[in-house]
Structure 1
Amino acid sequence: MNDKRLQQDLQRLYGSHVTALNAPPRAAVLELARPADWSALGAVWRGVQSDLGLPAPAIAVNGHDGFQLWFALAEVGMATQAAELLPALCRAYLPELRPTRLSMWSAAMATAAPALPPQRQEQQVAGEQWSAFVAPDLAPVFSDEPWLDTEPGPEAQAEVLGRLACISPAQLAAALEQLGARTGSTSPPQAPSAQPARPMAPVGLVTNGADETDPRRFLLRVMNDEAVAMALRIEAAKALLSAPAKP
């Protein structure tokens, strides 16, 4: 995969190019797996924005059994604070989950770095399974199959990452203070006066001027229709992620 726009967004957010195999030093990753559960991890994704005033982390399916949140750090030196942030978020938003279902990584942690999406996962069965960044609207339909069975389109991946921003040192320090990470408090944070982050549009979706014949609009309607079989909703989401974005 060699797409200039995707490379630029990965470099801007994480200090890494698309060819990198492992998480770069400016990333922090929280994973919930075995099984994948977006309803639980989605509470963290919403909370870091509405409660803590942080930029939205990227959402990814790991290609086999879970969801990930990829936090972008403005500076490499923030890794130690990020190592405090991740368990504090778990205490605040995921207190009832078994620790064995959670994985955390920052450059300050002595744990194996996860692979930077998009990556093809090695499987013992026929077919392909890819990790990929996904838009919030698409995440829920991947709970049963947290992967793509075709290589993600680089334009669609760039469309997801292009809306995201890095966490500044001041933002991270304020979030840690509010979470009570340094004092060991497990109380849920109180929402600040800042407005919640604006919801992101689905990958590659053109929301203005789309008519009933627009294939992306059709796929989105299928994906969001609870009366449609889940297998078809998943296929619609995968099609949105794999298709090139409209110019």
Structure 2
Amino acid sequence: MNRLQSELNRLFRPVPDAAATGAEHAAGGLLDAQGRVRAMRLGLAQTADWRELSLVWRGVQLDLGLPAPAIAVSGLEAIELWFSLAQPVAVAQAQAFLEALRQRYLPELALRRISVWPASVVTTDSGELLPPQQRKSEQWSAFVAPDLAPVFAETPWLDIPPSEEGQADLLRSLSAIKPAEFEAAMSLLYPEPTASAASNADSAGPQSSPALPPGNLNAKQFLLKVMNDEAAPLALRIEAAKALLPYTEGLSGPQSVR
């Protein structure tokens, strides 16, 4: 296993099964055996304007206290941020995080310009490709340094294969988001409403933004809240319900996604 594969594994791929070989781990997808993810991607296309996406890159560090995400050109039409989690989370939690970032930092952008992974439909073979990859003839995806990101607005790709050593060096400087950091960020993105705010929200009817729980809840509680929150997007509620399947025994209270 070379240095680049080691860095991709460290940041984005599932923790390998004890029986898996290094080659099998390097070739694997981004979902673990329980359908959880350590990698999250937020991309911006049409055009791949770093000035807009840099609002997210800076905001997650300054406002949320998170490590800097990796920056990549997609090899097709987008510039991307790749977030790394030290511990895997359910797809619904990852989707809720990315949606909150979109609403906070890119609320005015057309949805067609934004792409995320994990998306609303995620399978074991989701087709998600970590950079670097050849996407078309003379078009490579690659991780890039922040000071070079603006250069790729019109052509978000490299014309030649990127150096594996250079890619590894870029990734080596990055850190994964620790569980406590992720929970704290979710608490800031989805703060617990005060009693008066909750009363006002009830009288005002359904809101456009999901009233998701704070980050200090455990995964099961978080997913239950998302699944039963009628203000949350239906796609998120469905993903939360699927992620709760291992916990179905002993659940009580309302559990249907309406």
Larger Rg: 2
Q: Deviations over 1:91-137 (max 9, x none)?
A: 0000000001111112x842555311000013xxxx41000000101
CA contact (8 A) 1:21 1:115 kept: no
Q: Could you state the TM-score of these two structures normalised by the residue count of structure 1?
A: 0.66
Corresponding residue number in structure 2 for 1:40: 52
CA distance in 2, matches of 1:181, 1:79: 20
Aligned equivalent of 1:92, options 91, 104, 110: 104
CA-CA distance at 1:21 after TM superposition: 7.6
> What secondary structure does 2:146 align onto?
coil
Structure number with higher strand proportion = 2
Name the Cα RMSD after superposition: 2.4
CA distance in 1, matches of 2:98, 2:191: 10
Letter of the structure 2 residue corresponding to residue 116 of structure 1 = L
Q: Structure 1 pair 169/10, CA: closer, same or farther in 2 (3 Å)? A: same
CA distance in 1, matches of 2:179, 2:29: 23
1:16-165 pair list within 5 angstroms: 20=27, 23-24=30-31, 25-77=37-89, 79-106=91-118, 109-111=120-122, 112-122=126-136, 127-165=137-175
CA contact (8 A) 2:84 2:175 kept: yes
CA contact (8 A) 1:118 1:131 kept: yes
CA distance in 2, matches of 1:159, 1:58: 12
Letter of the structure 2 residue corresponding to residue 12 of structure 1 = R
**Which runs of 5 or more residues in structure 1 are unaligned?**
187-247
Corresponding residue number in structure 1 for 2:236: none
Q: Deviations over 1:31-78 (max 9, x none)?
A: 111221111001100100011001111000000111111100111235
CA distance in 2, matches of 1:116, 1:152: 13
CA-CA distance at 1:7 after TM superposition: 1.3
CA distance in 1, matches of 2:192, 2:39: 21
Corresponding residue number in structure 1 for 2:13: 15
CA-CA distance at 1:8 after TM superposition: 1.3
CA-CA distance at 1:176 after TM superposition: 1.1
- The one of the two structures with greater contact order (alpha-carbon pairs below 8 A, sep at least 6) is 1
Letter of the structure 1 residue corresponding to residue 131 of structure 2 = P
CA-CA distance at 1:79 after TM superposition: 3.9
Q: Structure 1 pair 180/5, CA: closer, same or farther in 2 (3 Å)? A: same
Letter of the structure 2 residue corresponding to residue 52 of structure 1 = L
Q: Deviations over 1:149-183 (max 9, x none)?
A: 00000011011100101111211111111012777
CA distance in 2, matches of 1:22, 1:182: 35
Q: Structure 1 pair 91/182, CA: closer, same or farther in 2 (3 Å)? A: farther
CA-CA distance at 1:80 after TM superposition: 3.3
**Which runs of 5 or more residues in structure 2 are unaligned?**
15-22, 32-36, 194-206, 210-258
Corresponding residue number in structure 1 for 2:216: none
CA contact (8 A) 2:13 2:29 kept: no
CA distance in 2, matches of 1:105, 1:138: 23
Q: Could you state the TM-score of these two structures normalised by the residue count of structure 2?
A: 0.63
Q: Deviations over 1:178-207 (max 9, x none)?
A: 012777797xxxxxxxxxxxxxxxxxxxxx
Letter of the structure 2 residue corresponding to residue 89 of structure 1 = L
CA distance in 1, matches of 2:191, 2:83: 17
> Identity of aligned pairs, percent?
50
CA contact (8 A) 2:13 2:30 kept: no
CA contact (8 A) 1:67 1:146 kept: yes
